[in-house]
Structure 1
Amino acid sequence: MIKLHGFAVSNYYNKVKFVLLEHGIPFEEVLTKLPLAEAKLAESPGGKVPYIETEQGFLCESEVIVEYLAARFPEKRIFAADPWQAAKERELITFIETHLELVARELYGEAFFGGKASDEVKATVEKRLNRYVASFKRLAKFAPYVGGEQFGVADMAAFVSLPLVGMATQKVYGRDFLAEAGVDWKAYVKLVSERPAAQRVGADRKAYLEANA
C-alpha cells in the first residue's frame, strides 16, 4: 500500500490526498512534520512534504507523485483520456502552482504566521501576481469547474491552492487579487466541497488545526 507522508495543513499534501481519495486508491497516511530530521532527507531530499513510500522506494514533489499515480493506475483516469485535454489540465496546474501559489507563498510569513515581508518582496510579488492572475483568468473556464464542464485533476490543485492566494493577498495588500480579477474562488471552493473526497480533506485539515492550536 502507498504511504503518504506529510500533514493536513500542507496544500500540496492535500492535493495528493484528494487525488488518492477521489480515485479510490488505497493509501495510508504517515504524519510527518517539518523540518524533517536528517535521517528523513534520504526519503525526501528537499526536506519537503508530501512524499510517498512505495514498495519500490520513496518519491517526492506533489506533481511528480500525481504523474506516477496516473501511470501506475491508468484505469483510474486521473488525467483526461484525450491527450489534448490532459495537456490542458497540466497547463492549468502549472499556472495555479508555479505562477500563482508559489509566487504568493512569499507572502505567507506575514499573512499567516506573524512575520513581515519586506517592501521589496511585496512589490515584486504584486507585479508578478498581477501578470499571472490576468493570465490565469484568460485560461481558466470556471464553467463551473476550472477547466470547463467536467471535474478533473486541475480542480484538485485549484481547490487547495487558490484560497491561499486569495487570503494571502487580502491580508498583505488589503485586497484579494483573485476576486479583484473576477475569480470567485469562494463560490468555486464551495462547489468542489460538495464532493466527498474534498469534504474529507477539509475535515482532516480542520481537525489537524484544532489539535495543534
Structure 2
Amino acid sequence: MIKLHGVALSNYYNKVKFLLLEHDIAFEEVAAPLPLAESRYAQSPAGKIPYLETEHGFLCESGVIVEYLAARFPEKHIFAADAWQAARERELIVFIETHLELNVRELYAEAFFGGTVSDEVKTTIEKRLRRYVAGFARLAKFAPYVAGDRFGVVDAAAFVSLPLVGRATQTIYGHDFLADVGIDWRAYLKLIGERPAAQRVSADRKTYIEANA
C-alpha cells in the first residue's frame, strides 16, 4: 500500500492527501514531524514533507507525487483527459504554489508565528505578489471551480494554499491581496469544504493543531 509521510499541518501534505481521498486511492498515513531526523534523509533527501513510500521506494516533492499518482492511476483522471486542459491545470498550480504560496511563505514568521519580517522583505514580497496575484486572477475562472465548471486537481492545491495567501497578506499589509482582485476565496473555501475529502483533511488538520498547541 502507498504510504504518505508528513503531518496534517503542511498544506502540501494536505494537497496530496486530499487527492488520495478524493480519488479513492488506498493509502496509509505515517507521521513525519519536522524537522526530520537525519535517518529519514534517505527517504526525503532535502528533509521536506510530504514524501511518498511505494513498493519501488520513496518519492518527494508534492508536485512530483501528484504526477506519479496520475500516471500510476490513469483511470482516476487526476488531471483532465484533454491535453490542453491538463496543461492549463498545471499552469494554474504553478501560479498557486510557486508564484503565490512560495512567495507569501516568506511572511509566515510574522503573519502566523509571532516572529518578525524586515520591511525590506515585505516591500520586495509585496511587489512580487501583486504581480502574480493579478496574473492568477486573469487565469483563474472560479466558475465555480478554479479551472472552470468541474472540480479538479487545481482545487486540491487552491483549497490548502489560497487561505494562507489571503490571511498572510491581510495580516502583514492590511489588505487581502486576493480580495483586492475580486477573488472571494472564503466563499470558494466553503464550496470545496462541502466535499467529504476536504472535510476529512480539515478535521485532521484541526486535530493536529489542537494536539500540538
Shorter chain as denominator, the TM-score bin is over 0.9
In structure 1, give the amino acid aligned to 2:81.
Answer: A
In structure 2, give the amino acid aligned to 1:150.
Answer: R
Residue 104 of structure 1 deviates from its aligned partner by: 0.3
Q: Does 1:125 align with 2:122?
A: no
Measured in 1, the distance between the counterparts of 2:36 and 2:198 equals: 27
Measured in 2, the distance between the counterparts of 1:114 and 1:21 equals: 33
Q: Does 1:45 align with 2:30?
A: no
Q: Structure 2 length as normaliser, TM-score?
A: 0.99
Measured in 2, the distance between the counterparts of 1:193 and 1:169 equals: 22
Measured in 2, the distance between the counterparts of 1:140 and 1:133 equals: 10
> What does residue 212 of structure 1 align with?
212
Segments of structure 2 that go 5 or more residues without pairing to the other structure are none
Residue 113 of structure 1 deviates from its aligned partner by: 0.7
> What does residue 172 of structure 2 align with?
172
Residue 173 of structure 1 deviates from its aligned partner by: 1.0
Residues matched between the structures, number: 213
SS in 2 for 1:36: coil
Segments of structure 1 that go 5 or more residues without pairing to the other structure are none
Q: Structure 1 length as normaliser, TM-score?
A: 0.99
Residue 181 of structure 1 deviates from its aligned partner by: 1.2
Measured in 1, the distance between the counterparts of 2:33 and 2:211 equals: 14
> What does residue 107 of structure 2 align with?
107
State percent identity of aligned pairs: 77
In structure 2, give the amino acid aligned to 1:137.
Answer: A
What does 1:124-163 align with in structure 2 at a 5 Å threshold?
124-163=124-163
> What does residue 194 of structure 1 align with?
194
Residue 56 of structure 1 deviates from its aligned partner by: 0.5
In structure 2, give the amino acid aligned to 1:75.
Answer: E
Provide the aligned C-alpha RMSD in A.
0.5
Residue 175 of structure 1 deviates from its aligned partner by: 1.2
> What does residue 60 of structure 1 align with?
60
Runs of 4+ in 1 over 4 A off after TM superposition: none
